[in-house]
Structure 1
Amino acid sequence: MTVSSAPSRATLPARMRAAVMTAPGRFEVREAPRPAPGQGQVLVAVDGSGICGSNLPVFEGRPWFAYPLAPGAPGHEGWGRVVAAGPGAEGAFTAGARVAFLSGAAFAEYEAVDAAAALAVPAALGDLPFPGEPVACGVNVFRRARIVRGDVVAVVGIGFIGAVVARLAAAAGARVLAVGRRPFALDLAGALGAEPVPWGERGAVVEEIRRRTGGALCDVAVEAVGLQAPLDLASDLVRESGRLVVAGFHQDGLRTVDLCAWNWKGLDVVNGHERRREVMMDAMRGAAEAVADGTLDLARLVTHAFPLEAIGEAFAALRDRPDGFLKGVVRP
């Protein structure tokens, strides 16, 4: 059944354009059948989808991935407008409602998504691109970290998630020390209310943080990269009885930790990731509110947009991080 006042099924195209990852580092834009919304689902005409650092391994290639991927995969940061509804979802959204959603095939013109995994975008955002899923991830990390006014917080890695967490922490009244390698990222951190800390040799960074905190180190350290060295550095920056928050997505192998130091310091170690849909949707609502009230400026954080035909260039930019790059989105 269609959404009330939305285009009828007869007016929707039977086929759509979708990006297909055919091999490591290779995309083709192909025609594919337009999905139909199933039970409890809505059909979204996709306005765009962010590209996520967690997708670099499948772009670069690993032995455990099989190609080609499904049309639209691995896009999971989508937003768009509801154009039809399946059984049980007819009243979930008004016709043409602008939504952000949780999904897995948003590098395409259309995607069918569970209505419970879609959020109406506040009117205050206008037509601003809103990749709700990654902003929600940043909100969720911030919430799990339990950062409060007066905390001293180190954020190790100023990519998109690190930048969101740094901004939310600064807005909450924390003192934020943002550790980054790129001059652009350090300048951005300063504009977000954090104190930039150039990332060099591990011991030198620890001593610099120790100097800036009068020897106390940090109440909370957020590792936001997903590699061994940043995890080691973040572990060093937490004071005794502080919190180490692992926000980076560690997917390229096993990690080693100095468990003796963790034990001795009495650290609380927090996994910054969330898999419960209802929790992620609540974080997405918080993300939309933070953008609507001006706490988060997505116009500053989403730095690059690419057409669907240039999706390979988008992933290459994510991999290479050219100057000025923080977050890219792909627009069909």
Structure 2
Amino acid sequence: MRSAETMQEKSPVSEETTVRRAAVLEAPQKVSIKEFELPEPGEGEVRIKLEGSGVCASNIPVWEGRDWFDYPVTPGEPGHEGWGTIDAVGAGVKDLKEGDRVTALTYKAYATHDIAKEDTVVKLPESLSGKAFPGEPLGCAMNIFNRSDIQKGQKVAIVGSGFLGSLLVQLVKSAGAEVIAVSRRQFSLDTAKEAGADHLVQMDDHYKIIEEVKELTGGNFCERVIECTGKEWPLNLSIELTGTRGKLIVAGFHQDGMRSLNVQMLNWRGIDMISAHERDPQQYIKGIKTAIDAVEQGKMDPFPLFTHKFSLEEMGQAYEHLTERPDGFIKALIIN
């Protein structure tokens, strides 16, 4: 996982404009903050002075440690949910300038600065001035919502009511559908209710959940089910909750190997199973722009879901909250 790092580690200096500070995962569950020479943007690039970055659940394996990761990890990785203000512009950049407040697709965002290509940067409107805006996960939620093809009046189960699940509750309700939120933690269910969920189902007993959703849907189950957990059991549960010729949207990030799935049920009910993960950067950018519109139109409100804020020096605590998920935790931000 370690990649070339052009910045050279150097002794601490007082001039903020000449130093980039970054979190470095030295080993599993061991993080330090180091200082490096400030990078200069290249052709078609800008440098962003980061206000902060979201902390993503996809970071859990590299924090916990897996055999396929190399340590130390490149400084700033795996942060990829940054936003801030452009403070340097490379040659050939046409539509961005110093002082523009932006969010971007960058990959070393657990830091004070990061470099981004012009076509992976989205300007933030004045309406978002002073507000945290981790564009990548918000764009991800919009892309998943659009892939889900939600229709007014449908019954939609959302399995997993963390940050992503709660955003999707809001978006699905904005489309006029009925939402059944299924989640393990009571706090997550309470959050889903605040987001607009019509029904709350505790994710405890497999067959009890199936019977409850069957009753809520008049025996027909759901036209759409969105799985947001990234775990095998909830994914199979989601298959059972999807009605005949319904659509199962896999939004959870399944990152720890193979899954055993109930393909018999998929076949029997004629279920369309859709992986809603995008890999085209421009599709992500489209999602981020759509997310900005959704926030401005009141269809999505991420701000109450940013429950915890940490400084760069508290990066270890942010990772611990991400893995342990104490009551009250939905989404952590690193704030510079």
Q: TM-score range by the shorter chain?
A: over 0.9
Aligned residue in 2 for 1:316: 320
Q: 2:102 aligns with which of 92, 99, 102?
A: 99
Q: 1:284 aligns with which of 288, 311, 314?
A: 288
1:309 & 1:208 partners in 2: Cα distance? 45
Deviation (angstroms), 1:185: 0.9
Q: Does 1:66 align with 2:70?
A: yes
**For residues 246-325 of structure 1, what are the structure 2 equivalents within 5 Å?**
246-325=250-329
- For these two proteins, the number of residue pairs brought into alignment is 321
1:29 & 1:264 partners in 2: Cα distance? 53
Kept in 2: contact 1:125–1:291 (CA 8 A): no
**For residues 1-332 of structure 1, what are the structure 2 equivalents within 5 Å?**
13-89=17-93, 91-194=94-197, 195-332=199-336
Paired letter, 2:223: D
Deviation (angstroms), 1:253: 1.1
Deviation (angstroms), 1:13: 2.5
1:159-188 deviation line (CA, Å, top 9, x unaligned): 111111111001110101010111111111
Deviation (angstroms), 1:289: 1.2
Paired letter, 1:147: I
Deviation (angstroms), 1:294: 2.2
Instruction: Give the structure-1-normalised TM-score.
Output: 0.95
Aligned residue in 2 for 1:8: none
Percent identity between the two aligned chains = 41
Deviation (angstroms), 1:134: 0.4
Kept in 1: contact 2:167–2:301 (CA 8 A): no
Paired letter, 1:64: W
More moved, 62-71 vs 191-200: 191-200
- Return 5+ residue gaps in structure 1 as ranges: 1-10
1:33 & 1:202 partners in 2: Cα distance? 53
Q: 3-state DSSP class of the match of 2:245?
A: strand
Deviation (angstroms), 1:293: 2.2
Kept in 2: contact 1:32–1:71 (CA 8 A): no
Paired letter, 1:205: I
Aligned residue in 2 for 1:6: none
Deviation (angstroms), 1:299: 2.0
1:187 & 1:196 partners in 2: Cα distance? 8
1:72 & 1:223 partners in 2: Cα distance? 29
Kept in 2: contact 1:154–1:220 (CA 8 A): yes
Q: 3-state DSSP class of the match of 1:303?
A: strand
Paired letter, 2:306: V
Aligned residue in 2 for 1:3: none
Q: 3-state DSSP class of the match of 2:111?
A: coil
1:304 & 1:297 partners in 2: Cα distance? 16
Deviation (angstroms), 1:122: 1.4
Q: 3-state DSSP class of the match of 2:17?
A: coil
2:187 & 2:137 partners in 1: Cα distance? 20
Deviation (angstroms), 1:298: 2.2
Q: 3-state DSSP class of the match of 1:13?
A: helix
Aligned Cα root-mean-square deviation (Å): 1.1
Kept in 1: contact 2:55–2:79 (CA 8 A): yes
1:60-88 deviation line (CA, Å, top 9, x unaligned): 00000000011111100000001111111
Q: 3-state DSSP class of the match of 2:70?
A: coil
- Return 5+ residue gaps in structure 2 as ranges: 1-14
2:119 & 2:239 partners in 1: Cα distance? 37
